[in-house]
A and B are shown apart, each in its own frame.
Chain A
């Protein structure tokens, strides 16, 4: 087939629309070449529509039919190209290359749009929280004062009362922490950057970490880049991000496991200038995040840790801080196998 000759691999073929959908789901190819008339009840446009919407795989029609009715049906499936048989290799190659490029750009645009929506949400949250924070802190002061008053008066009478009052106090501190975290969104502090060796920063944070968190059944391993690396970053902010990621990793492994921390250099795939990037990776061997939750993890207040009282602000806050450094925070996860968080930062 000419596709092989043109340098493409063809991991599968299908004769019916149903088979095409099944194989697309399994193989996840970069592109599907689709005929209109297929075996079975489902035609090519129906199969294309399902593949495009369910798996976000671009479709190029390759068919002998070009009557108006078929074209109309094909058009609404938003194909990336339409090739009429017979065709020449050169024509096929150029249409495929343009389709693949267009799809890559479309994905990038979607990602940017999502990030914009997310950052707009964060900004709105910041404006909102700044306004209400004081209104919440005042009643919290009264709740805490009232609880302490009751504690003095009643806890000697009945030990259950002491437990109840402690729960009220704990909840007050928790609500206060949420308000404090929210306020950080409303006034992200200005960056105080300095030249920092990321490996040194990690070692320092880990040494602080040892004293703060008892690590039962959890091993922390490190693998640092051999060559010297320097980043222009705000030490406190990046330490906060790294700390958040470490806490997430620990909380993902209630029965123990291993945290692997790595640093390495990476070339940017998105820039023609071959920008050099530094990656700080925190990988755990925990429960992982289900695919349905994975796309929500950067949303403020989304948490899978209700039982250990997570506020749902850690990751959205961390990504905002990394974005402020022109970097990115990426989370990859496989349920049952673990989660890897990558802080990606440009070199100075």
Chain B
């Protein structure tokens, strides 16, 4: 069973993404509502994929992305940015830090599942 980590400070958002993805897939979903906590869990749990918000209190998602992609233990985990930020500048920064995809909220569950599935099938 593939393990997916959601890092987003909006608890309700994490809750629904988790419930909705679990309903249509076999993924095991774990969540973190702070960037720092997300990094810790990623190192410990080694998820198969991370869904990462950008605007969070404390360490923001772009910094989390840099740290995860800059660390040997976590650099190969595919990361999809899942954020409300729809600016080119933000997309360029994220892609420049080697995120694997960039999705702007709100997103339909089936679309999200499709993107996750595609990335997982490539990285396997």
Residues of A within 8 A of B (CB): 133-138, 140-146, 148-149, 152, 172-173, 176, 180, 183, 187
Contacts and interface: CB of A to CB of B under 8 A. Distances in A.
A172 B16 contact: no
A347 B32 CA distance: 57
Given A141-B107, A142-B10, A142-B13, A148 B20 contact: yes
A139 to B, nearest CB: 8
Interface residues of B, number: 20
Given A134-B85, A183-B86, A141 B19 contact: no
Q: Which of B10, B85, B106, B109 has the most CB of A within 10 A?
A: B106
Interface string B36-79: 00000000000000000001000000000000000000000000
B23 interface: yes
A180 B86 contact: yes
A134 B109 contact: no
A185 to B, nearest CB: 13
A173 B85 CA distance: 16
Given A141-B84, A142-B16, A187-B87, A134 B107 contact: no
Given A134-B84, A137-B86, A187-B87, A145 B17 contact: yes
A140 B16 contact: no
B55 A134 contact: yes
B105 A141 contact: yes
Given A140-B105, A141-B105, A145-B109, A152 B10 contact: no
Interface of B: 10, 12-13, 15-17, 19-20, 23, 55, 84-87, 104-109
Given A134-B85, A137-B84, A149 B19 contact: yes
A272 B20 CA distance: 66
Contacts of A148: 16, 20, 108-109
Contact of B84 (A133, A144, A145, A187): A133
Contacts of B85: 134
B70 to A, nearest CB: 26
Given A134-B55, A138-B105, A172-B106, A145 B87 contact: no
5 contacts: A142-B16, A145-B16, A145-B20, A149-B23, A173-B106
Contacts of B86: 133, 137, 180, 183
B19 A144 contact: no
Given A137-B105, A145-B17, A180-B86, 12 more contacts: A133-B84, A134-B55, A134-B85, A136-B84, A137-B106, A138-B84, A140-B105, A140-B106, A142-B10, A142-B16, A144-B107, A187-B87
Contacts of B12: 142, 145-146
Given A141-B105, A141-B107, A149 B16 contact: yes
B30 to A, nearest CB: 17
A137 B90 CA distance: 15
Contacts of B108: 144, 148
Given A133-B84, A172-B106, A141 B10 contact: yes
Nearest to B15: A145
A146 B105 CA distance: 13
